[in-house]
Structure 1
Amino acid sequence: MQIAYLENDVLRVGLLLEKGASIFDFTYKPYDLDFMWQSPIPMRRPFVATSALPEGTFHDYYYGGWQEVLPSAGWANEPYMGTYQGLHGEVAILPFEAAIAEDTQELVTLNTHTRLYRSPLVLQRTMSLKRGIAALFIHERLYNESTGEFAVMWGHHPAIGEPFLDDSCIVHTPVAKVEVMAYHQNGLWEPGGDYEFPKVKNRRTEQLQDITRILPKDTRSVDVVFFKELTEGWYGLTNQRLGVGFGMAWDKDLFKYLWMWQVYGGHTDYPWYGRTYNCALEPFTSFPPAGVKNAVENGTALIMKPGEVIETDLVAVAYQGEGINRITLDGLVEQ
């Protein structure tokens, strides 16, 4: 499969161009540490599955890493605008075109784009590294080619794993409320909301517990939670044993919610069968992961007007320290 690497003196970022231009490698060179989770499912070319899943092929091809999710998130049985989007939409599966825009000692920039298959959308993503800065700068342009309105759920799905992830990790983010999705039989948290951040009811102990602290694999739980009422768009996930972290910043007026997928060894059915330990912190326009039609009905879908263009910037950073106070869109980590 065709890949691209962006590198400077402190970061290496690997992109799988033929599959969503997904990030499979985000390595912080001073620690030789790749934050991205690698699942037990191998990285393979798209293939003919042994049987067709109603949800589509996302899970069959999901090797871990960081995917962009568009135009729908989660799995829903009902179609939208005459077609089914499957699990997590199209973008994570589609091939991207790519071209090097700049390649100097000071700046490397890669332009990528794709035209969606079942949706009237064109996504352009420009990714850059600057010399001496441990930050990946992302500029995106989403264009609705339709002559009518088109609703989307849009987000980023970076899954973080070992050896970085352990029970010394803690999430920092400026939010007010937490909602827990009724997601799986092995869920640890009591579904519902809105909980006052960061305390959520533990179903096993009936006590309130800090949801920002990563739990060990032997917890045998799996949950999806939503952080709501963001005052700013950023988070940091810090490993306090190592004194290093991964974080993101974004426009909170576009990506209004931060999802957290917590897999602490408890996803015991397809496709993980209890083998996985990871978490994902995901800026999203909408919630929950139940398909775009549901997001339209609950008022969280992003409704694009005919011919509308949306442009936005995000940044992903690596940093040192035991905690942070803020991450800005220029890649600055305030401690």
Structure 2
Amino acid sequence: MINDEWLINGLRAVKVIRNELEVTIIPELGGLIWSIKYGDHELLHHHKDPEPIEHLREGLTPEDFYNIVFFGGWFEVIPNAGYASRYAGVQFGLHDESPYIPWKVEYDEEADEYSVLNVVSLRKYPLKVYRRIKLLNSNEVLIKERLVNLSRQNLKFSWLHHPNFGSDLLSEYTVLELPKGTEVEVDKYLSGGSSILEPGYRGVFPMVKSKGGELIDLSRFPRDLNTNDLVYVPMVKEGWFRLINEKLGIRLEANWDVNVFRSMWLWRPLGGGFNYPWFGRIYATSVELTTSWPATGLAEQVKMGTAYEIQGNGEISTWIRFKIT
């Protein structure tokens, strides 16, 4: 069923419920998927209570706006995945622009009581996104998307799904599984001072080197760290990952269209490091599906040849599916 009578801190929320599975969306917060609950277990990290973005804009720069409005949940970024960047005459902020503008929500419960459509037209870039979230059964979700170019010219862009996993799903008993032989590269472009990993290190998941030369297991999530690490999978070979909490017996498996989401970013804010923006107060992980890398923004992605392109007046369709057991 669909329930649109919820308010979260004054923001309208739409819940899609099918037996044990419940997905909550906050349309005006960039179409944020705020919650995924399976039975009594919450799977997404909630960093702080959400509030209207307009309350937070004053005095913020493009570089730090995202850090202020990071509430957690699963958000979607298009056309600038990564840090502030200037491209095609547009100044983009960090993870700009779709998370910062309201999305419309449409549904017909009589036609389909387990499906909602979210729609957004970007303001800086002539792109329109249609995202349908459908509960296929009591433990499986399908996200089908269509991107439309509203202009006649070809457009370069980057597209990112940024699920922030935490709450009941993430603990020291959780393991991340990726296809065997997955090649990874530690971020060297942003040089995060809070990262414990050796910048630019290349290896095979799950083991990478720390700055001190020790091996770090990316498949595990210890609580005794205070680190903020970013690792890339530049080229995805098989479109799946699994997050399994071995103690609670919760298992999330995702599959997706690797023709569009060709790369992955593995963000590990385990504590998050000292000082701004996390002050050691975050414990989450994100397995981010993206068209492009690194996280330096669209202009750099265009230079490196990793940006995606949509033809003038063209369309791109794609999908993500995840199952919880």
State the TM-score, normalized to the length of structure 1.
Answer: 0.88
Aligned counterpart in structure 2 of residue 155 of structure 1, from 157, 160, 167: 160
In the comparison of the two structures, how many residue pairs are matched? 311
The answer to whether the Cα contact below 8 Å between 1:171 and 1:236 also exists between their aligned partners in 2 is yes
Distance in structure 1 (CA, Å) of the matches to 2:273 and 2:110: 42
Cα distance, 1:145 vs. partner?
A: 1.1
Aligned counterpart in structure 1 of residue 50 of structure 2, from 23, 43, 60: 43
Q: Counterpart in 2 of 1:283? A: 289
Aligned counterpart in structure 2 of residue 95 of structure 1, from 102, 118, 121: 102
Distance in structure 2 (CA, Å) of the matches to 1:305 and 1:66: 28
Cα distance, 1:130 vs. partner?
A: 2.7
Distance in structure 2 (CA, Å) of the matches to 1:255 and 1:141: 13
Q: Counterpart in 2 of 1:28? A: 38
The answer to whether the Cα contact below 8 Å between 1:107 and 1:130 also exists between their aligned partners in 2 is no
Q: Deviations over 1:80-132 (max 9, x none)?
A: 1111110111111111111113457x851111101001011000001111333
Partner of 1:79, secondary structure, is strand
- State yes or no: 1:14 paired with 2:24: yes
- State yes or no: 1:268 paired with 2:239: no
Which AA in structure 2 matches 1:297? Answer: K
Cα distance, 1:21 vs. partner?
A: 1.2
Distance in structure 1 (CA, Å) of the matches to 2:225 and 2:26: 32
The answer to whether the Cα contact below 8 Å between 1:198 and 1:212 also exists between their aligned partners in 2 is yes
Which AA in structure 1 matches 2:248? Answer: L
Distance in structure 1 (CA, Å) of the matches to 2:171 and 2:90: 41
Cα distance, 1:11 vs. partner?
A: 0.5
Distance in structure 2 (CA, Å) of the matches to 1:49 and 1:122: 24
Root mean square deviation of aligned Cα: 1.7
Cα distance, 1:221 vs. partner?
A: 1.1
- State yes or no: 1:238 paired with 2:244: yes
Residue segments in structure 2 that go unaligned for 5+ positions in a row:
1-10
Which AA in structure 2 matches 1:26? Answer: I
The answer to whether the Cα contact below 8 Å between 1:72 and 1:153 also exists between their aligned partners in 2 is yes
Aligned counterpart in structure 1 of residue 65 of structure 2, from 33, 41, 57: 57
Distance in structure 2 (CA, Å) of the matches to 1:291 and 1:138: 25
Q: How does 1:1-335 map to 2 (within 5 A)?
A: 1-29=11-39, 32-39=40-47, 41-46=48-53, 47-55=55-63, 57-76=65-84, 78-103=85-110, 108-132=114-138, 134-174=139-179, 176-182=182-188, 183-204=191-212, 206-216=213-223, 218-319=224-325
Distance in structure 1 (CA, Å) of the matches to 2:107 and 2:207: 46
Q: Percent identity?
A: 29
The answer to whether the Cα contact below 8 Å between 1:267 and 1:273 also exists between their aligned partners in 2 is yes
Which AA in structure 2 matches 1:44? Answer: E
Partner of 1:293, secondary structure, is helix
Distance in structure 1 (CA, Å) of the matches to 2:217 and 2:204: 10
State the TM-score, normalized to the length of structure 2.
Answer: 0.91
Distance in structure 2 (CA, Å) of the matches to 1:7 and 1:103: 14
Q: Counterpart in 2 of 1:332? A: none
Distance in structure 2 (CA, Å) of the matches to 1:98 and 1:49: 24
Distance in structure 1 (CA, Å) of the matches to 2:312 and 2:201: 35
Which AA in structure 1 matches 2:301? Answer: A
Partner of 1:232, secondary structure, is coil
Cα distance, 1:187 vs. partner?
A: 1.0
Cα distance, 1:214 vs. partner?
A: 1.7
Distance in structure 2 (CA, Å) of the matches to 1:117 and 1:128: 27
Residue segments in structure 1 that go unaligned for 5+ positions in a row:
320-335
The answer to whether the Cα contact below 8 Å between 2:231 and 2:267 also exists between their aligned partners in 1 is yes
Cα distance, 1:70 vs. partner?
A: 0.7
Distance in structure 2 (CA, Å) of the matches to 1:228 and 1:301: 12
Partner of 1:84, secondary structure, is strand
Cα distance, 1:283 vs. partner?
A: 0.7
